[in-house]
Structure 1
Amino acid sequence: MNNNTVDKSVLNTASVKPKVLLDDAPLSKFHIKIAGLTFGAHFTDGYILGIIGFALTILTPQMGLNALWTGLIGASALIGLFIGSLVLGWISDHIGRQKIFVFSFILITVASFLQFFADSAIELVLLRILLGIGLGGDYSVGHTMLAEIAPRKQRGVLLGSFSVIWTVGYVCANIIGIYFADSTNPDIWKWLLASSTIPAIIILLLRIGTPESPRWLESKGRIEEGQAIVSKHLGENIVLDRQEIASDAGFKLLFSRKYIKRTVFNCIFWVTLVIPYFAIYTFLPLILESFGMSSNHSTDFLLNIILLVGAFLGIYFTAKFSRRGFLIWSFVVLAAMLGMLALLPSTMTLLLVAVFGVFTLIMSAVSNLVGVFPAESFPTEIRSSGVGLATSVSRFGSAAGTFLLPLSIANLGIQSSMLILVAVLLVGLVVSVLWAPETKNLTLNRASKD
């Protein structure tokens, strides 16, 4: 045989790539695409919830709104988030992720646009509830879609990055709100609210044609369809890790003996973080004034920078440390900082600013975990329902906090109101110490046992 002749069978064998499980697939353009489409939703969410504070300062005197209506408008999108995440998350576990992935942004786009034509407080409340329903559905499905496709090594960073993108959207809303705050146009609040149509319609168009989650297809026994999607978008050598075909357990399994602690933990840790977050930052000018700190462009710019730095810091902490440890110590610091804000005299301005800065930094950082823990805590057949339930409970709490805070400050004062929020954070701390699982490096073919 000629020495230069190579056996073709050896070549063919060498060219065949070894099989790799979906959880261990290398990060690819497809992963980045799904992440980008999901991140776009969080940018829109942050923008929508950030812009309302500036619109309220303009439309409140224009419409003659009292504290009740101001609270309702501020909380309306969060009320919708409660409904949408609960209902659309449950539907997603039954009909698939992709349909809700697109439908949610149809609602968001339409409701955003129609805000321009709102002429009364009740119209605005109803439209923002509709907006929130779309956002709630997207929270449930977006986190789930990305968790089910992302490699486990990068999953924490990708899921944790939701908070960064949300913060970018929130900061963009602040910048635009500050820029137009002094406008003499009486309809500027309509333009501010309707401006969320721009990112919403872009995301909607880009999402058309997104494939179904292969893990969801596999859980329904449609293994060949799921594998075809994996092979097409990630490579022929990437394979689904076989799991049992799921039964239609729904919410019953979430509250079964096996998952009840996970369910309660995810609901409580999330809600105890977002109650002070939304209550404080929705009415930031009022809070700063109550603490004796002036709210101006310089203060707003500084806080926005801290929010962004905290969000990026949270990605690093999520990748570097255990999920459980990061969460528990964040609750400790947040409760301590907010307690100091409540008890320090208003004459200690510099110290108050420093304490509020640390509170803002850590709150922004630990908010990364709300995109990580719920998506990693449940098996495929109830993942969207679990994420949806946790999102729903968190948004109910944040809506209640946003609605009640101005009433609490007016009737109880700033000190008592902040101490109530400290108590909320301490509840989150206790529940996290007792029940927080460690989900880092977890494979998602089945949720790990408690």
Structure 2
Amino acid sequence: MSHSTQLTQIERLERLSFNAMHKKLLIACGIGWALDAMDVGLVSYVVAAIAADKHFALTMQEKSWVLSIGFVGMAIGAALGGALADRYGRKTMITYSLALFGCANIAMALSWNLPMLLVSRLVIGLGLGAELPVASTLVSEYAPRKLRGRLTVLLESFWAVGWIIAALIGAIIIPATGDWGWRIALCFGAIPVVYAVILRMHIPESVRFLQAKGKVEQAEQAVTEFELASGIHTDEAVKSFASDPLPKVHIRALFGNRLALRTVVITVIWIMINFAYYGAFSWLPSLLADQFGNLQHTLWYTVVMSLAQLPGYLLAAWLVEKIGRKPTMITFLVAATIFTLAFAHAQSVAQVLCFGMLMSAAHLGAWGVLYAITPELFPTRLRAAGAGFAASMGRIAAICAPLSVPVLLGMANGGKSLTFICFALAFALATCASFLLPEMANSELAE
């Protein structure tokens, strides 16, 4: 390759086809993502079990506190994690956040009163919130342009795996182990401590981040590893040519002329989807137990609904490159609105399972596209911070969602129907906001 055809390190990554290094990165981050989902999913089952524990005997209001305080931590963690990832690195934040929420799960499992439950759950949320947007940013920064959306949605699909595991633990382990069941279930949440050590050795740091910090040789090593996995041997002339240094950008640039509309629109979508999804699924085991009067049976209903998440993700992964980010986002949000409304009025077990599965698939398909498009909207210096800010505002809505459920249930003519009608309205608002998004398919990540 001659000097006239020199490529920057980023251009060399963009030209690659999907290879073993991409696969390794996707699976490594995906396992961490699944562990996050398992933890978030477990708490809805754990809260139902703690409420039945005579030592705690949580009221409806106290249950909502335990559910919501984790999202307080996630809101803080998402904002701090994104900013810290832009300063100290994607890899560093992913591994530290995994270790943090793994240790906090042990503390929650050992809790002897409500304040300790709440503090432990808050710290768990800090780790969870920091890890999620940073992992999606890292995968999107390594993915070839033509596959970037699909790989990010596939990363998000690991959420379904973790949620299904949580549902199985909730349906099998907790009922079988009596008053200690919820404590044993939380011990599964300690697995990320071990995995963080493994992950640290097996994922690369972002090339864009390394360039921004002037660590060109480390960036070169990472690019070369990905090229060799595709059978490409780049000559030294090309290897010596890195991207130009990136100008310093302050976080307030998220609301500058170029990015203000994008920041506001994607933040609104994050807020609406968080409110609807976490409001619905955090309370689902408890609401179905109230509707059908049998907690053990309804735990299995939630397992079935969780299984529907995988097809939702896989369909989104296919459509996001086939028809584009924006049309796919709108399609899934419209479906989520319709099926959430249908679930609001579901009475029989058959109706609950049918519309619950469709609702679950639509909700998670929308989540997949959201994680794919968010990092693409921001330049490298602000990518993790921008994704973290939107996620953080979304987590504030996730805090409000579980707290709103007891209020909606207690209103005249309220109950499950009014609760899910409100969640459907949130999806409808997210749909309207999505029309203002730019289409990012096949676009180059901005520096």
Instruction: Normalising by structure 1, report the TM-score.
Output: 0.87
Tell me, in whole angstroms, the C-alpha distance in 2 between the residues paired with 1:109 and 1:350.
Answer: 37
Q: Which moved more, 1:199-208 or 1:144-153?
A: 199-208
- Once the two structures are superposed, what CA deviation does each residue of 1:15-46 show, in whole Å capped at 9, x if it has no partner? xx996621121222222222222112210111
**CA 1:373–1:182 in 2, change beyond 3 Å: closer, same or farther?**
same
**CA 1:420–1:229 in 2, change beyond 3 Å: closer, same or farther?**
same
Tell me, in whole angstroms, the C-alpha distance in 2 between the residues paired with 1:378 and 1:101.
Answer: 20
**CA 1:82–1:311 in 2, change beyond 3 Å: closer, same or farther?**
same
Residue aligning to 1:314: 316
Tell me, in whole angstroms, the C-alpha distance in 2 between the residues paired with 1:334 and 1:325.
Answer: 14
Instruction: Say yes or no: does 1:389 pair with 2:382.
Output: no
Tell me, in whole angstroms, the C-alpha distance in 2 between the residues paired with 1:240 and 1:105.
Answer: 35
Give the C-alpha shift of residue 190 in structure 1.
0.9
Give the C-alpha shift of residue 160 in structure 1.
0.2
3-state SS of the aligned residue for 1:187? helix
3-state SS of the aligned residue for 1:174? helix
| Percent identity for Structure 1 against Structure 2 | 21
1:129-168 matches, cutoff 5 A: 129-168=122-161
Tell me, in whole angstroms, the C-alpha distance in 2 between the residues paired with 1:175 and 1:95.
Answer: 37
Q: Which moved more, 1:416-425 or 1:376-385?
A: 416-425
**CA 1:341–1:245 in 2, change beyond 3 Å: closer, same or farther?**
same
Give the C-alpha shift of residue 174 in structure 1.
0.6
Instruction: Say yes or no: does 1:430 pair with 2:432.
Output: yes
Tell me, in whole angstroms, the C-alpha distance in 2 between the residues paired with 1:402 and 1:129.
Answer: 15
Q: Which moved more, 1:376-385 or 1:310-319?
A: 310-319
Tell me, in whole angstroms, the C-alpha distance in 2 between the residues paired with 1:185 and 1:353.
Answer: 27
Residue aligning to 2:209: 216
**CA 1:345–1:49 in 2, change beyond 3 Å: closer, same or farther?**
closer
Tell me, in whole angstroms, the C-alpha distance in 2 between the residues paired with 1:345 and 1:182.
Answer: 26
Residue aligning to 2:253: 253
Tell me, in whole angstroms, the C-alpha distance in 1 between the residues paired with 2:421 and 2:25.
Answer: 41
Tell me, in whole angstroms, the C-alpha distance in 1 between the residues paired with 2:304 and 2:203.
Answer: 38
Tell me, in whole angstroms, the C-alpha distance in 1 between the residues paired with 2:13 and 2:192.
Answer: 31
Tell me, in whole angstroms, the C-alpha distance in 1 between the residues paired with 2:240 and 2:85.
Answer: 20
Give the C-alpha shift of residue 289 in structure 1.
5.5
Residue aligning to 2:370: 370
Give the C-alpha shift of residue 306 in structure 1.
1.6
Residue aligning to 1:197: 190
Q: Which moved more, 1:235-244 or 1:210-219?
A: 235-244
- Aligned residue pairs total 429
Tell me, in whole angstroms, the C-alpha distance in 1 between the residues paired with 2:343 and 2:142.
Answer: 42
Instruction: Say yes or no: does 1:57 pair with 2:52.
Output: no
Give the C-alpha shift of residue 367 in structure 1.
1.7
3-state SS of the aligned residue for 2:445? coil
Letter in 1 for 2:258: K
Contact 2:343 2:359 in 1 (8 A): no
**CA 1:184–1:286 in 2, change beyond 3 Å: closer, same or farther?**
closer
Instruction: Say yes or no: does 1:178 pair with 2:179.
Output: no
Residue aligning to 1:442: 443
Give the C-alpha shift of residue 184 in structure 1.
4.8
Tell me, in whole angstroms, the C-alpha distance in 1 between the residues paired with 2:112 and 2:185.
Answer: 14
Contact 1:82 1:133 in 2 (8 A): yes
Instruction: Say yes or no: does 1:336 pair with 2:338.
Output: yes
Instruction: Structure 1: state its 5+ residue gaps.
Output: 1-12
Tell me, in whole angstroms, the C-alpha distance in 2 between the residues paired with 1:280 and 1:269.
Answer: 17
Contact 2:95 2:199 in 1 (8 A): no
Contact 1:22 1:241 in 2 (8 A): no
- Looking at CA atoms only, which structure, 1 or 2, has the larger radius of gyration? 1
Tell me, in whole angstroms, the C-alpha distance in 1 between the residues paired with 2:250 and 2:14.
Answer: 24
**CA 1:379–1:241 in 2, change beyond 3 Å: closer, same or farther?**
farther
Instruction: Say yes or no: does 1:37 pair with 2:31.
Output: no
Instruction: Structure 2: state its 5+ residue gaps.
Output: none
Instruction: Say yes or no: does 1:407 pair with 2:430.
Output: no
1:281-296 matches, cutoff 5 A: 281-288=281-288, 295-296=297-298
3-state SS of the aligned residue for 1:427? helix
Letter in 2 for 1:317: L
Tell me, in whole angstroms, the C-alpha distance in 2 between the residues paired with 1:297 and 1:94.
Answer: 42
